[in-house]
A and B are shown apart, each in its own frame.
Chain A
Amino acid sequence: MSENGSKRSLTPAVFHILLALSGGELHGYGIMKQVNEDSNGKVKMGAGTLYGSLKRMLDAKLVKESEKRIDPELDDERRVYYQITASGKEALSDELERFNSIVSLAQKLRLLPKTFQYEI
């Protein structure tokens, strides 16, 4: 991700955060849990990585702070919610398209593990 939001591949942290936020607004801890869930527990994002990435994503206008509100269950006003922007959706879509083309190529070249499985 570049500072001006031009089309460059996203860092894994930024990609996972965008993916997590594509399902709706989330606060920091919500994002961490969603990332963990989306990656089947393979990606465990720490608070430092999360907020460092969020800072750069806010600067690049990939995400924005939604109206601060209190989670009725957790009840803390410091919980800030974030939501994906149109630029964020576009960046995520570009990245997914890039992944898709790589996967297509890998399938064509029969490099995917499943491709080998089918061969057997």
Chain B
Amino acid sequence: MKFEKEKIFALYRRLIFLYPRGFRERFGGPMEQTFKDVCNERSKQKGDISLPFVVATFAETSASVIKENLHEAKGAYQMNDRLKNVCVAALISLVLSVLFTFGTFFSDDPEGQLGEFSFPLSDFLRGWLIQTIVFTLIVSGLRSGGPVSAKYLITTLAAAVLFGLLLIAPFAFMEYWNNPVIQSGEVPFPFMLFFGLWLTPVMLFLVATPIVRSIRAGESVLAHPISLTARVILLALVAILWLNLIRDQMPCFLGGVPGCD
């Protein structure tokens, strides 16, 4: 049975793709080249590339793929790193959840007229969990592909902040412009609402950053399929949530709705 060389090379390239990222980036090119050399010599000597040769080569490389992935998974450094990402994300989320919970209450009831403050524990825990998942994706994305320079971190965060501000600016302007009660100071400007509306696109930007970074680095968009799927699902869900919130609040932004919340 004869095989077309180009097809086998393409198949071998796909097999190399299954190596852990670090290994693939370092040895993928030379491995592919070595495989081509072996195949070329083989076809020069024997006239074609036989099935037993292809099976033996692919079996050997597959065993190596499994070995390297196990080696990578066992790496204590990797595990510590992942744990660190989750801890950092949980901490950031905790601070934000506390600020948001108390901020919302005091923004709704600046005079303390609504009675005693009862802590919304279940909402708080739910919010904290969701934010932890989002921030884990953000932190791991920012730290992926080696150490991140302070300049890169600041530029990315600044771009995310600006992106969020640009998105909410028209709505904030509409809210202020169309509501005379806010202009006169009778009703306070809903800062917490806009903080939430601003934070969502900032998170979206940061979750999407690693995907853009990978593509710009010339990597395939499918290089990390699990991470990509998680990010795309999250991006879609949060984008839908944000758009629904905007649609829900639109009558308030346009004014003419008394006691809008």
A50, A52, A55: which contacts B34 (Cβ < 8 A)?
A50
Q: How far is the CB of A11 from the nearest CB of chain B, in Å?
A: 12
Number of interface residues of B (CB under 8 A): 22
A27, A47, A51, A55: which contacts B38 (Cβ < 8 A)?
A47
In the bound complex, do residue B30 and residue A28 qualify as a contact, i.e. CB atoms below 8 Å apart?
Answer: yes
Q: Given the known A-B contacts A52-B64, A52-B67, A52-B68, are A47 and B34 also in contact in the complex, defined by CB atoms under 8 Å?
A: yes
Q: How far is the CB of A68 from the nearest CB of chain B, in Å?
A: 10
In the bound complex, do residue A46 and residue B30 qualify as a contact, i.e. CB atoms below 8 Å apart?
Answer: no
Q: How far is the CB of B187 from the nearest CB of chain A, in Å?
A: 64
Residue of A nearest to B35 (CB): A47
Chain A residue contacts of B35, Cβ below 8 A: 47
In the bound complex, do residue B27 and residue A46 qualify as a contact, i.e. CB atoms below 8 Å apart?
Answer: no
In the bound complex, do residue A49 and residue B34 qualify as a contact, i.e. CB atoms below 8 Å apart?
Answer: no
Q: How far is the CB of A88 from the nearest CB of chain B, in Å?
A: 18
Q: Given the known A-B contacts A28-B34, A29-B38, A50-B34, are A78 and B29 also in contact in the complex, defined by CB atoms under 8 Å?
A: yes
In the bound complex, do residue B33 and residue A29 qualify as a contact, i.e. CB atoms below 8 Å apart?
Answer: yes
User: Mask for A23-45, Cβ within 8 A of B = 1, else 0?
Assistant: 00001110010000000000000
The reply on B78 being an interface residue by CB < 8 A is: no
The reply on B217 being an interface residue by CB < 8 A is: no
Q: Which residues of B contact A (CB under 8 A)?
A: 23, 26-27, 29-35, 37-38, 56-57, 60-65, 67-68
Chain B residue contacts of A28, Cβ below 8 A: 30-31, 33-34
Cα distance A47–B33 in the bound complex, in angstroms: 10
Cα distance A27–B29 in the bound complex, in angstroms: 12
In the bound complex, do residue B27 and residue A54 qualify as a contact, i.e. CB atoms below 8 Å apart?
Answer: yes
A48, A76, A78: which contacts B60 (Cβ < 8 A)?
A48
B29, B37, B60, B64: which contacts A29 (Cβ < 8 A)?
B37
Q: How far is the CB of B93 from the nearest CB of chain A, in Å?
A: 36
Within 65-84 of A, Cβ neighbours of B (below 8 Å) are at 74, 76, 78-80
Q: Given the known A-B contacts A32-B38, A74-B37, are A49 and B64 also in contact in the complex, defined by CB atoms under 8 Å?
A: yes
In the bound complex, do residue B60 and residue A47 qualify as a contact, i.e. CB atoms below 8 Å apart?
Answer: yes
Cα distance A84–B63 in the bound complex, in angstroms: 26
| 28 A-B residue pairs with CB within 8 Å | A27-B30, A28-B33, A29-B34, A29-B38, A32-B34, A32-B38, A46-B57, A46-B60, A46-B64, A47-B34, A47-B35, A47-B38, A47-B57, A47-B64, A48-B31, A48-B61, A48-B65, A49-B60, A49-B64, A51-B27, A51-B64, A52-B64, A52-B67, A52-B68, A55-B27, A55-B68, A74-B37, A79-B33
